[in-house]
Structure 1
């Protein structure tokens, strides 16, 4: 544990600077110190309900990813309460009888920065390795919904439910449990050895881009076969299940129709790897394919792909 935790406790400014330098224990102490104020904001806006606790846990994860956004280290308390307030307002909008899209997680901080996604923000500071290690400690079901919700563009409960083939209510409960476990882990954080998350993501990004390049040469099956189990199964958006060789034929048909695939995001853990790809249709047939596809790879104990699920996010997201 950091020596900053000895004695009466350091001021917020020291905790913020230490957290921004990668000390998860100091971030956990800062969040514990302000938890009561954060919860008070949630109760004031949402009332006494499980939603208030969920809002605090959601804000905790946002603070974990966005601690680098604090410009005045002395203002940690107001910043954390602002994050909770924005999370609560998002929840209230979702309760509205008027259908509204959920805002992306990065919008909930109130930051006016540009379009970087959460994974890019996470890479800006040393806490990323703690985050990935904590995510790895979740059960497979909790890990998958967490990766989708916080590190890809598949963020709506409906899209996650469709991809995971599970009811929306189950997605909500799994995310709630995952948030609680990650919040508890952060508050009890101690120094430990972490995997190099940046290296893992870079490795799998290279694999994904090389696979797409091979696909455009008509060599997708040979490119993937060395990393896939011979019994690997592909589940298509239609629910059809096939082997790898069928995937090659599908890519060839796309190529002949003028469709090109472009990797836009890769999120990797030891057991799940997610690729997001844009589908570029030919100008003369702009709606030939959906605008994108998500690949969820489930790895077996040897690290080879044992199962893949393909999913098309809803058009217009």
Structure 2
């Protein structure tokens, strides 16, 4: 049986526990972006989020036999990510602001537009950091990574209704945040119920974070 996107986590974990490196590689591909989002929710810094995700996968591989319930691999992995991210935060309380690698010219922006974009990016990151950690994690998994309520509930081990509640209050806080309220946000053309509130670094690239406005 080839390891594809439809292969269950449990099957892949058992194969990896038996020494199949390809199976573990599929798990890495499947959950790297989610691991990054969780790392970002804790650290608020894309470099540290990437480090936390990568370290977590190394720890997971070394301790794979400790994953007693392969069906819940994702929740087990994300708990490791949280711990690694918290360790990074404790080690680096002070850090310099990271600079996105893309240039204004490469994105076709004028200096004025680039300044507006940088301001929105900074305010978005500050607004996200003011959310409680669990709300920050859920809004990033749902609105950035596209996970469904049920998937988040299963991975985090909480009721689906709790996920919906956290997501509701996180979005409400972001809409009302003083930093974001000072910036005129653009409406996403293909979905009138969503507001584009800026870029968030994700897995080596930059992705748009959108929240519901209605």
- Whether these two folds match at TM > 0.5 is no
Larger Rg belongs to: 1
Q: Give the number of the structure with larger relative contact order, counting CA–CA contacts within 8 Å between residues 6 or more apart.
A: 2
The TM-score normalised by the length of structure 1 is 0.28
Query: In proportion to residue count, which structure has more strand?
Result: 1
Query: In proportion to residue count, which structure has more helix?
Result: 2
